[in-house]
Chain A
């Protein structure tokens, strides 16, 4: 990432360099998942960032919501919003069938390796060369932690490659349904609902 574009990103994100702050994509994910979740559900957000989405879902649905992030500053931010947070790498420390709903707003923007920088915000924004750096481990590990009737909710951009994501999901025994989408000038954002083949 050039110094110039890094600055623009920092500006877009309100100068924040430690924790990804809620943006359009966060609101989209929160809205879609709130409609899908029931009060009795055990809900978990992977890569919670500021914890805003998890807190919204807890407040609006009354469901039991936990959140995790690899970034200690994000874990702190989520805890400060009243969300039980856990420092974790993806699904590492979660038991089989733990959740009825798992949501993830991953770093989904393709990022040139030469343009990477090195702080927590980079980790939160960069999806690697194809935008799927963390989408793939999410789709690979999801089934194990979902309850029998559970669903995953994944936010992606058209820049992440809808069909590529769909085919990786299929390889992992998951069906994909787009439950919400919104167009922006340079991309379309989708909230995908992922369920196991029955």
Chain B
């Protein structure tokens, strides 16, 4: 994902802005990292360029 994505995404729980921590970058593309909600403290992983913004209780449940 690109950093500009932060303009349209938020914490799915409380709609607060997210803070970005980058682990791996390729040009301006963020490959892996963590999005943190400073309001509720929840963290959301970015893996392979795709942020996983499912609420934590859905991450495990929603698998086939």
Beta-carbon contact of B50 and A93 below 8 Å: no
Contacts of A88 in B (CB 8 A): 12, 53-54
What's the Cα separation between A75 and B52 when bound, in Å? 10
What's the Cα separation between A42 and B7 when bound, in Å? 11
Beta-carbon contact of B49 and A93 below 8 Å: no
Among A66, A84, A99, the one with the most B-chain Cβ atoms within 10 Å of its Cβ is A84
Task: Mark out the residues of chain A between 163 and 190 whose CB falls within 8 Å of any chain B CB in the assembled complex.
Answer: none
Contacts of A98 in B (CB 8 A): 7-8
Interface of chain B: mostly helix, strand, loop or mixed: loop
Partner of A79, one of B12, B48, B53, B58: B48
What's the Cα separation between A122 and B58 when bound, in Å? 17
The interface of chain A, by Cβ under 8 A from chain B, is 18, 42, 44, 66, 70, 72, 75-76, 79, 84-89, 92-96, 98-99, 118-120, 122-123
> B1-18 vs A: 1/0 string, CB under 8 Å?
110010111111001000
With A84-B1, A89-B58 as known contacts, state yes or no: A76 contacts B53, CB within 8 Å. Answer: no
